[in-house]
Amino acid sequence: MTNPTSAPHPWVCPNCSREVPGRILTCRCGHAQAERPSDSVPHVRESWRRVRPAWLVGIPLVVLAGWYISASRPVPSRPSPPAPGELERLIAQAAPGNTDAASAAQAPYSPIDLPVSPRAGTPPPAEPQPLVPVALEDVVARAAQAVVRVETGSSTGSGFFVAPDTVLTNVHVVSNASSVTIRRPNGTTVAALVASMSSDIDVAVLKVFPPDQTQAVLPLGSVTRVRSGQEVVALGSPLGVLQNTVTRGIVSAIRDIGGVTLIQTDAALNPGNSGGPLLNRDGQVIGITTMGIATQQGLAFAVAIDHAQALLLGQRHAAGTGSTPLANLNRALNDTGASPADVIREQGTRAYEQALSQLALRSDALDRDWTRFKSICSVTAIGGKFKREWYALFETPAMPGMVAPGCEGFLIELRQAAGGIRTEMRAQEEKARRAGVYPGVQREIRERLRLDYSDW
């Protein structure tokens, strides 16, 4: 019998080993098949129908699990491109003979071998700079190009450039002069006008014409950062001729005397150093050398540079006492355990300075009259040098020849005015002597007011 609904597979007879078509159940040898081969096929197909839905669900699950595992792994970051110029440096390092480059080439590559480019707008980190102390001679060499000699015709002092057209010095260096001569270290000279001054702090500002834009200048520091014991250097022209002399010392103390901050130092200061800079080890100006006590070794003072700031801005110093730093210092020295003689001396110094200030005003008026007299009366050349030219009236050999006709009366008036000033000066000198005013203090006041004359 055959199976009409299927195509049974052929089977092999176990007795004769003959292949028998699947639709025949009995072999020619008479062996009959116990079960039709085709009966098992539907069973296999039915089993496949049950398994196939499980595969259809399982395969997507396996694919999904593999994708999740792959996505969970960290992605290695790519190294940033080298910074500008870095690639050329790496190529140069790889040149033959460069042992550092050869050893670097043998090392395994790492992303940190190349520099990471900074984000836009982010400044690169500052590299630490080693602190290398500057040699003192280098500080002096740079500063010396800005220190000059100030010449007024009757006296000399020191000064220093703080701008191509600006020089700082002391008031007692320029006295009452309206213009001075600046002598640079190389010997060249240039004219300068006295732009502003303050006797309270003994600081004057000079303006140079024409300015040299290549002129070396000194940076300004501050007394607020000065400490006792630190090293300082003073530059100037001691005795008015030894230009750019250098002396070294330490800061002995910081003192406030009469509203003015003074830096006390043991650096040697002599006449002619006045107006020069007192520098710290960084080459910054911390003071303007003002005075040295001639009778005391290693005792000198400089006005703190902070006081000059107002003058540099075109302002007047308003915190003074109406006296000079030297007079204030003398007063301060006498205030410590002052004896009656010291009190009289301090009072006599103030009275002497006030009286000479009034005589200086009279002398200024006589200067103007003398200039007019010379222009209209044809005065011949004056013999000798005087701080005020009309001092020649006291010395007959200094005025040879006769004046123009009609000027005799004018000359008599000038002699009378000059005689009155001389009489008053002699009286004030005697009062100061009786009060015990130090001769050095008297001389400093006379020189500052241009009233220094040998016949007083």
Q: What is the CATH number of domain 136-332?
A: 2.40.10.120
The C-alpha atoms of residue 355 and residue 429 are separated, in whole angstroms, by: 10
Q: Are 109 and 122 in contact (CB under 8 A)?
A: no
Q: Are 279 and 314 in contact (CB under 8 A)?
A: no
The C-alpha atoms of residue 394 and residue 418 are separated, in whole angstroms, by: 8
Strand partners, 9: none
- Name the nearest CA neighbour of 285 among 228, 371, 225: 225
- Name the nearest CA neighbour of 7 among 22, 18, 20, 19: 22
Which of 216-219's residues contact partners 24+ apart within 8 Å by CB, and which partners?
216/142, 216/145, 216/146, 216/161, 217/146, 217/161, 217/162, 217/163, 217/164, 218/143, 218/146, 218/147, 218/160, 218/161, 218/162, 218/277, 218/279, 218/283, 218/284, 218/285, 219/283, 219/284, 219/285
């006709």: which residue's tokens? Answer: 405
Q: Are 352 and 445 in contact (CB under 8 A)?
A: yes
- Name the nearest CA neighbour of 237 among 286, 328, 298, 170: 170
- Please tell me whether residue 68 adopts helix, strand or coil conformation: helix
Please report, in tens digits, the pLDDT of each residue of the chain (456 residues total): 444 445 577 888 888 888 888 778 888 888 887 655 444 444 445 555 555 566 666 677 777 777 767 666 655 555 555 555 555 565 555 555 554 544 444 444 344 343 444 444 555 555 555 455 678 889 999 999 999 999 987 778 999 999 999 999 999 899 888 899 999 998 899 999 999 988 888 899 999 988 999 999 999 999 999 999 999 999 998 876 788 889 999 999 999 887 889 999 999 888 888 899 999 999 999 999 987 765 566 788 999 999 998 788 877 654 444 566 666 666 555 555 556 787 788 889 999 999 999 999 999 999 999 888 888 886 666 666 778 888 888 876 666 556 777 888 888 898 899 999 999 999 999 999 999 998 889 999 999 998 988 877
